[in-house]
Homo-oligomer: A and B are copies of this chain.
Protein backbone atom coordinates (compact mmCIF):
# COMPACT_ATOMS: atom_id res chain seq x y z
CA UNK A 1 0.00 0.00 0.00
CA UNK A 2 2.92 2.39 0.76
CA UNK A 3 6.07 2.50 -1.37
CA UNK A 4 8.27 2.54 1.73
CA UNK A 5 7.40 0.60 4.88
CA UNK A 6 10.50 1.30 6.96
CA UNK A 7 8.81 3.86 9.16
CA UNK A 8 5.57 1.94 9.63
CA UNK A 9 7.57 -1.13 10.61
CA UNK A 10 9.75 0.87 12.99
CA UNK A 11 6.73 2.44 14.69
CA UNK A 12 4.44 -0.58 14.48
CA UNK A 13 1.73 1.33 12.63
CA UNK A 14 -0.21 0.73 9.42
CA UNK A 15 0.11 4.13 7.72
CA UNK A 16 3.38 6.11 7.98
CA UNK A 17 1.62 9.37 8.74
CA UNK A 18 2.24 11.25 11.99
CA UNK A 19 -0.22 13.80 13.32
CA UNK A 20 2.22 16.42 14.65
CA UNK A 21 2.49 17.16 18.40
CA UNK A 22 1.51 20.89 18.40
CA UNK A 23 1.95 21.80 22.07
CA UNK A 24 -1.14 23.61 23.26
CA UNK A 25 -3.38 22.41 20.41
CA UNK A 26 -3.02 18.63 20.54
CA UNK A 27 -5.42 16.68 22.76
CA UNK A 28 -5.82 13.06 23.84
CA UNK A 29 -8.83 12.81 21.50
CA UNK A 30 -6.84 14.15 18.52
CA UNK A 31 -3.84 11.91 19.14
CA UNK A 32 -6.03 8.85 19.70
CA UNK A 33 -8.03 9.53 16.54
CA UNK A 34 -4.86 9.52 14.43
CA UNK A 35 -3.50 6.40 16.12
CA UNK A 36 -6.82 4.59 15.88
CA UNK A 37 -6.96 5.41 12.17
CA UNK A 38 -3.68 3.54 11.74
CA UNK A 39 -1.20 6.41 11.92
CA UNK A 40 0.75 7.87 14.82
CA UNK A 41 -0.99 10.39 17.04
CA UNK A 42 1.12 12.82 19.05
CA UNK A 43 0.81 14.83 22.22
CA UNK A 44 2.78 18.05 22.53
CA UNK A 45 3.97 17.90 26.15
CA UNK A 46 6.39 20.85 26.04
CA UNK A 47 4.22 23.08 28.22
CA UNK A 48 3.18 20.38 30.71
CA UNK A 49 4.58 19.58 34.14
CA UNK A 50 5.23 15.99 35.09
CA UNK A 51 1.80 15.39 36.63
CA UNK A 52 -0.01 16.83 33.61
CA UNK A 53 2.11 14.64 31.35
CA UNK A 54 1.08 11.58 33.37
CA UNK A 55 -2.58 12.56 33.29
CA UNK A 56 -2.77 13.56 29.63
CA UNK A 57 -0.73 10.65 28.31
CA UNK A 58 -2.70 8.27 30.52
CA UNK A 59 -5.97 9.60 29.12
CA UNK A 60 -4.67 9.20 25.55
CA UNK A 61 -3.59 5.63 26.15
CA UNK A 62 -7.06 4.81 27.46
CA UNK A 63 -8.49 6.06 24.14
CA UNK A 64 -6.24 3.94 21.93
CA UNK A 65 -4.35 0.67 22.16
CA UNK A 66 -2.08 1.70 19.28
CA UNK A 67 1.32 3.46 19.47
CA UNK A 68 1.28 7.09 20.56
CA UNK A 69 4.03 9.75 20.42
CA UNK A 70 4.85 12.12 23.29
CA UNK A 71 6.81 15.20 22.26
CA UNK A 72 9.13 17.35 24.39
CA UNK A 73 11.38 20.38 23.92
CA UNK A 74 15.06 19.95 24.81
CA UNK A 75 16.43 23.45 24.32
CA UNK A 76 19.60 24.73 25.95
CA UNK A 77 19.12 26.69 29.19
CA UNK A 78 18.53 30.33 28.22
CA UNK A 79 21.12 33.03 28.83
CA UNK A 80 19.83 35.61 31.28
CA UNK A 81 20.18 39.31 30.51
CA UNK A 82 18.24 41.48 32.91
CA UNK A 83 18.58 44.65 30.80
CA UNK A 84 17.08 42.80 27.85
CA UNK A 85 14.35 41.44 30.12
CA UNK A 86 13.41 44.95 31.19
CA UNK A 87 13.37 46.25 27.62
CA UNK A 88 11.01 43.44 26.64
CA UNK A 89 8.75 44.11 29.63
CA UNK A 90 8.64 47.80 28.76
CA UNK A 91 7.68 47.00 25.19
CA UNK A 92 4.81 44.80 26.32
CA UNK A 93 3.51 47.28 28.94
CA UNK A 94 1.22 49.20 26.52
CA UNK A 95 -0.43 45.92 25.48
CA UNK A 96 -0.99 44.95 29.11
CA UNK A 97 -2.55 48.36 29.69
CA UNK A 98 -4.71 48.11 26.59
CA UNK A 99 -6.02 44.72 27.70
CA UNK A 100 -6.22 45.76 31.36
CA UNK A 101 -3.95 42.94 32.49
CA UNK A 102 -2.04 44.73 35.25
CA UNK A 103 1.73 44.44 35.60
CA UNK A 104 3.86 42.61 33.05
CA UNK A 105 5.13 39.49 34.87
CA UNK A 106 8.80 38.91 35.55
CA UNK A 107 10.85 37.01 32.98
CA UNK A 108 11.10 33.39 34.13
CA UNK A 109 11.59 29.87 32.78
CA UNK A 110 8.35 28.39 31.47
CA UNK A 111 9.08 25.01 29.92
CA UNK A 112 9.74 21.94 31.95
CA UNK A 113 13.08 20.25 31.36
CA UNK A 114 13.18 16.70 30.10
CA UNK A 115 14.96 15.42 33.22
CA UNK A 116 14.99 12.15 35.16
CA UNK A 117 11.58 12.91 36.67
CA UNK A 118 10.00 13.61 33.30
CA UNK A 119 11.67 10.50 31.94
CA UNK A 120 10.09 8.46 34.75
CA UNK A 121 6.67 9.96 34.00
CA UNK A 122 7.02 8.99 30.35
CA UNK A 123 8.34 5.50 30.97
CA UNK A 124 5.74 4.74 33.62
CA UNK A 125 2.82 6.10 31.60
CA UNK A 126 3.90 4.29 28.51
CA UNK A 127 3.86 5.97 25.08
CA UNK A 128 5.78 3.82 22.60
CA UNK A 129 7.32 6.76 20.76
CA UNK A 130 9.06 9.81 22.24
CA UNK A 131 9.97 12.71 19.99
CA UNK A 132 12.03 15.81 20.71
CA UNK A 133 12.30 19.29 19.25
CA UNK A 134 15.53 21.35 19.28
CA UNK A 135 17.81 18.30 19.44
CA UNK A 136 17.90 15.28 21.73
CA UNK A 137 18.25 14.87 25.52
CA UNK A 138 21.54 13.90 27.18
CA UNK A 139 23.16 10.56 26.45
CA UNK A 140 22.09 8.96 29.73
CA UNK A 141 18.44 9.81 29.07
CA UNK A 142 18.76 8.56 25.49
CA UNK A 143 20.22 5.32 26.83
CA UNK A 144 17.37 4.96 29.32
CA UNK A 145 14.76 5.50 26.60
CA UNK A 146 16.45 2.94 24.37
CA UNK A 147 16.81 0.45 27.24
CA UNK A 148 13.07 0.81 27.83
CA UNK A 149 12.43 -0.04 24.18
CA UNK A 150 11.11 3.38 23.16
CA UNK A 151 11.44 4.68 19.64
CA UNK A 152 13.04 8.12 19.58
CA UNK A 153 12.45 10.80 16.91
CA UNK A 154 13.74 14.33 16.49
CA UNK A 155 13.64 17.13 13.90
CA UNK A 156 16.42 18.30 11.60
CA UNK A 157 16.33 21.48 9.52
CA UNK A 158 19.65 20.81 7.76
CA UNK A 159 21.76 17.85 6.66
CA UNK A 160 24.25 18.57 9.45
CA UNK A 161 21.51 18.38 12.07
CA UNK A 162 20.24 15.10 10.60
CA UNK A 163 23.74 13.64 10.84
CA UNK A 164 24.02 14.71 14.49
CA UNK A 165 20.62 13.22 15.35
CA UNK A 166 21.50 9.91 13.70
CA UNK A 167 24.84 9.76 15.50
CA UNK A 168 23.15 10.48 18.84
CA UNK A 169 20.65 7.65 18.40
CA UNK A 170 17.49 8.97 16.73
CA UNK A 171 15.58 6.02 15.25
CA UNK A 172 14.06 8.21 12.54
CA UNK A 173 14.52 11.84 11.59
CA UNK A 174 11.87 14.44 10.85
CA UNK A 175 13.11 16.66 8.00
CA UNK A 176 11.37 19.91 8.90
CA UNK A 177 11.11 22.21 5.90
CA UNK A 178 10.77 25.99 5.93
CA UNK A 179 7.02 25.74 5.21
CA UNK A 180 6.23 24.13 8.58
CA UNK A 181 4.08 25.90 11.16
CA UNK A 182 5.18 26.46 14.75
CA UNK A 183 8.72 26.46 16.07
CA UNK A 184 11.62 25.83 13.73
CA UNK A 185 13.41 22.81 15.22
CA UNK A 186 16.96 23.93 14.50
CA UNK A 187 19.65 23.33 17.10
CA UNK A 188 22.99 23.29 15.23
CA UNK A 189 22.09 25.92 12.65
CA UNK A 190 20.64 29.21 13.75
CA UNK A 191 20.47 31.23 10.57
CA UNK A 192 16.78 31.75 9.98
CA UNK A 193 17.54 33.04 6.49
CA UNK A 194 19.15 29.71 5.63
CA UNK A 195 16.16 27.56 6.52
CA UNK A 196 15.50 25.11 3.72
CA UNK A 197 12.24 24.28 1.94
CA UNK A 198 10.85 20.74 2.20
CA UNK A 199 11.32 19.99 -1.51
CA UNK A 200 15.06 20.67 -1.30
CA UNK A 201 15.63 19.42 2.26
CA UNK A 202 14.15 15.92 2.16
CA UNK A 203 16.27 14.34 -0.61
CA UNK A 204 19.46 15.89 0.77
CA UNK A 205 18.78 14.43 4.23
CA UNK A 206 17.69 11.08 2.75
CA UNK A 207 21.06 10.88 0.99
CA UNK A 208 22.95 11.66 4.21
CA UNK A 209 21.45 9.27 6.79
CA UNK A 210 20.51 5.60 6.93
CA UNK A 211 17.55 5.88 9.32
CA UNK A 212 14.04 6.55 7.91
CA UNK A 213 13.27 10.18 7.11
CA UNK A 214 9.90 11.77 7.87
CA UNK A 215 9.02 14.78 5.69
CA UNK A 216 7.36 17.75 7.41
CA UNK A 217 6.42 21.25 6.27
CA UNK A 218 3.86 22.25 3.66
CA UNK A 219 2.21 18.82 3.53
CA UNK A 220 -1.54 19.08 4.00
CA UNK A 221 -3.23 16.63 1.66
CA UNK A 222 -2.60 13.41 -0.23
CA UNK A 223 -0.62 15.18 -2.95
CA UNK A 224 1.96 16.31 -0.40
CA UNK A 225 2.14 12.82 1.10
CA UNK A 226 2.75 11.25 -2.31
CA UNK A 227 5.34 13.93 -3.09
CA UNK A 228 7.19 13.19 0.16
CA UNK A 229 7.52 9.51 -0.75
CA UNK A 230 8.75 10.49 -4.22
CA UNK A 231 11.46 12.57 -2.52
CA UNK A 232 12.63 9.48 -0.66
CA UNK A 233 10.87 10.00 2.67
CA UNK A 234 9.55 6.96 4.55
CA UNK A 235 6.66 8.90 6.02
CA UNK A 236 5.27 12.34 6.75
CA UNK A 237 4.39 14.50 9.74
CA UNK A 238 1.38 16.78 9.29
CA UNK A 239 0.48 19.55 11.72
CA UNK A 240 -1.51 22.51 10.43
CA UNK A 241 -4.14 20.38 8.65
CA UNK A 242 -5.05 18.81 12.03
CA UNK A 243 -5.57 22.24 13.66
CA UNK A 244 -8.89 22.52 11.81
CA UNK A 245 -10.18 19.18 13.11
CA UNK A 246 -12.90 19.08 15.76
CA UNK A 247 -10.49 17.57 18.30
CA UNK A 248 -7.86 20.34 18.20
CA UNK A 249 -7.83 22.50 21.34
CA UNK A 250 -7.70 25.93 19.71
CA UNK A 251 -9.73 29.04 20.46
CA UNK A 252 -12.57 29.99 18.09
CA UNK A 253 -10.70 33.10 16.90
CA UNK A 254 -7.71 30.92 15.93
CA UNK A 255 -9.96 28.45 14.11
CA UNK A 256 -11.60 31.32 12.30
CA UNK A 257 -8.23 32.85 11.33
CA UNK A 258 -7.12 29.52 9.81
CA UNK A 259 -10.35 29.38 7.82
CA UNK A 260 -9.61 32.61 5.97
CA UNK A 261 -5.85 32.19 5.61
CA UNK A 262 -3.78 31.71 2.48
CA UNK A 263 -0.18 30.85 1.70
CA UNK A 264 0.95 34.51 1.89
CA UNK A 265 -0.30 35.01 5.43
CA UNK A 266 2.37 33.35 7.57
CA UNK A 267 5.71 34.67 8.80
CA UNK A 268 8.47 33.47 11.06
CA UNK A 269 8.50 35.40 14.33
CA UNK A 270 10.57 35.35 17.51
CA UNK A 271 8.18 37.64 19.34
CA UNK A 272 6.08 35.09 21.20
CA UNK A 273 8.66 32.72 22.65
CA UNK A 274 12.08 34.10 21.74
CA UNK A 275 12.65 31.44 19.07
CA UNK A 276 11.58 31.62 15.42
CA UNK A 277 8.19 30.02 14.82
CA UNK A 278 5.79 30.27 11.87
CA UNK A 279 2.31 31.66 12.38
CA UNK A 280 -0.38 33.78 10.76
CA UNK A 281 0.57 37.45 10.81
CA UNK A 282 -1.33 39.50 13.36
CA UNK A 283 -1.06 42.87 15.02
CA UNK A 284 1.35 41.72 17.75
CA UNK A 285 3.72 40.11 15.23
CA UNK A 286 3.72 43.17 13.01
CA UNK A 287 4.26 45.65 15.81
CA UNK A 288 7.00 43.59 17.46
CA UNK A 289 8.83 42.73 14.23
CA UNK A 290 11.37 45.51 14.67
CA UNK A 291 12.31 44.31 18.16
CA UNK A 292 12.35 40.57 17.75
CA UNK A 293 16.12 40.31 17.89
CA UNK A 294 16.17 42.14 21.21
CA UNK A 295 14.05 39.76 23.30
CA UNK A 296 14.92 37.38 26.15
CA UNK A 297 16.17 33.95 25.05
CA UNK A 298 13.71 31.14 24.38
CA UNK A 299 11.64 30.19 26.32
CA UNK A 300 11.86 33.20 28.67
CA UNK A 301 9.47 35.27 26.53
CA UNK A 302 6.65 32.79 27.03
CA UNK A 303 5.46 33.95 30.46
CA UNK A 304 5.49 37.55 29.20
CA UNK A 305 3.28 36.81 26.20
CA UNK A 306 1.13 34.16 27.92
CA UNK A 307 -1.37 36.60 29.48
CA UNK A 308 -1.69 38.48 26.16
CA UNK A 309 -2.40 35.29 24.24
CA UNK A 310 -4.90 34.13 26.83
CA UNK A 311 -6.70 37.49 26.91
CA UNK A 312 -6.83 37.55 23.11
CA UNK A 313 -8.34 34.08 22.98
CA UNK A 314 -10.91 34.96 25.68
CA UNK A 315 -11.97 38.13 23.86
CA UNK A 316 -12.20 36.41 20.49
CA UNK A 317 -9.46 38.62 19.07
CA UNK A 318 -6.58 37.20 17.02
CA UNK A 319 -4.43 40.32 17.65
CA UNK A 320 -2.30 38.88 20.44
CA UNK A 321 -2.62 35.13 19.94
CA UNK A 322 0.13 32.90 18.58
CA UNK A 323 -1.67 31.58 15.49
CA UNK A 324 0.89 28.91 14.52
CA UNK A 325 0.35 27.76 10.97
CA UNK A 326 2.30 26.33 8.06
CA UNK A 327 2.26 27.65 4.50
CA UNK A 328 -0.21 25.08 3.13
CA UNK A 329 -3.01 26.40 5.36
CA UNK A 330 -5.32 27.09 2.41
CA UNK A 331 -5.70 23.31 2.08
CA UNK A 332 -7.18 22.91 5.60
CA UNK A 333 -10.60 21.27 5.87
CA UNK A 334 -12.84 21.23 8.94
CA UNK A 335 -13.81 17.71 9.96
CA UNK A 336 -13.23 15.14 12.68
CA UNK A 337 -9.58 14.05 12.92
CA UNK A 338 -10.29 10.42 12.07
CA UNK A 339 -12.14 11.45 8.91
CA UNK A 340 -9.28 13.74 7.92
CA UNK A 341 -6.79 10.95 8.49
CA UNK A 342 -8.73 8.49 6.34
CA UNK A 343 -9.18 11.14 3.65
CA UNK A 344 -5.42 11.82 3.61
CA UNK A 345 -4.72 8.12 3.09
CA UNK A 346 -7.25 7.83 0.27
CA UNK A 347 -5.93 10.98 -1.44
CA UNK A 348 -2.33 9.83 -1.13
CA UNK A 349 -3.15 6.46 -2.65
CA UNK A 350 -4.91 8.21 -5.52
CA UNK A 351 -2.00 10.59 -6.09
CA UNK A 352 0.47 7.69 -6.08
CA UNK A 353 -1.55 5.78 -8.69
CA UNK A 354 -1.34 8.64 -11.20
**Contact yes or no, A264 B160, CB < 8 A:** yes
For the complex formed, measure the closest distance between the CB of A273 and the CB atoms of chain B, giving whole angstroms: 18
> Hey, which chain B residues are within 8 Å of A262, CB to CB?
158-160, 204
**Contact yes or no, B197 A178, CB < 8 A:** yes
The residue that A223 contacts in the complex, of B221, B232, B326, with Cβ under 8 A, is: B232
Q: Mark A311-334, 1 if CB is under 8 A from B, else 0.
A: 000000000000000111011000
> Hey, which chain B residues are within 8 Å of A228, CB to CB?
227
Q: A179 near B: Cβ within 8 Å?
A: yes
**Contact yes or no, A263 B354, CB < 8 A:** no
Q: A200 near B: Cβ within 8 Å?
A: yes
The residue that A204 contacts in the complex, of B3, B177, B263, with Cβ under 8 A, is: B263
**Contact yes or no, B327 A229, CB < 8 A:** no
* A residues 182-241 in Cβ contact with B at 8 Å: 189, 191, 193-194, 196-201, 203-204, 207, 217-221, 223-224, 226-232
Measured in the bound complex, the distance between the Cα atoms of B354 and A4 in whole Å is 8
**Contact yes or no, B179 A197, CB < 8 A:** yes
**Contact yes or no, B194 A179, CB < 8 A:** no
The residue that A194 contacts in the complex, of B158, B231, B266, with Cβ under 8 A, is: B266
Measured in the bound complex, the distance between the Cα atoms of B160 and A268 in whole Å is 21
Q: A59 near B: Cβ within 8 Å?
A: no
Residue of B nearest to A198 (CB): B199
Q: A63 near B: Cβ within 8 Å?
A: no
Residue of B nearest to A188 (CB): B264
**Contact yes or no, A177 B194, CB < 8 A:** no
Residues A203 and B224 in contact in the complex (CB < 8 Å), given A189-B264, A263-B158 = yes
**Contact yes or no, A197 B229, CB < 8 A:** no
> Hey, which chain B residues are within 8 Å of A224, CB to CB?
199, 203, 231
Residues A331 and B203 in contact in the complex (CB < 8 Å), given A194-B266, A265-B194 = yes
> Hey, which chain B residues are within 8 Å of A3, CB to CB?
354
Measured in the bound complex, the distance between the Cα atoms of B176 and A199 in whole Å is 12
**Contact yes or no, B189 A177, CB < 8 A:** no
Measured in the bound complex, the distance between the Cα atoms of B331 and A196 in whole Å is 14
The residue that A197 contacts in the complex, of B159, B177, B232, with Cβ under 8 A, is: B177
Q: Which residues of A contact B (CB under 8 A)?
A: 3-4, 158-160, 177-179, 189, 191, 193-194, 196-201, 203-204, 207, 217-221, 223-224, 226-232, 262-268, 326-328, 330-331, 351-352, 354
- A sample of 26 cross-chain residue pairs with beta-carbon separation below 8 angstroms, ordered by A number, consists of A3-B354, A158-B264, A159-B264, A160-B262, A177-B199, A179-B197, A179-B199, A196-B327, A197-B198, A197-B199, A197-B217, A198-B198, A199-B218, A199-B224, A199-B328, A200-B217, A200-B220, A200-B263, A204-B331, A223-B232, A224-B231, A226-B231, A227-B227, A227-B228, A229-B354, A230-B352
- With contacts A198-B218, A199-B218, A226-B227 known, what are 18 further pairs, Cβ within 8 A? A158-B264, A159-B262, A159-B330, A178-B178, A178-B197, A179-B197, A179-B199, A179-B200, A191-B264, A191-B267, A193-B268, A197-B198, A199-B224, A224-B231, A226-B230, A226-B231, A227-B230, A227-B231
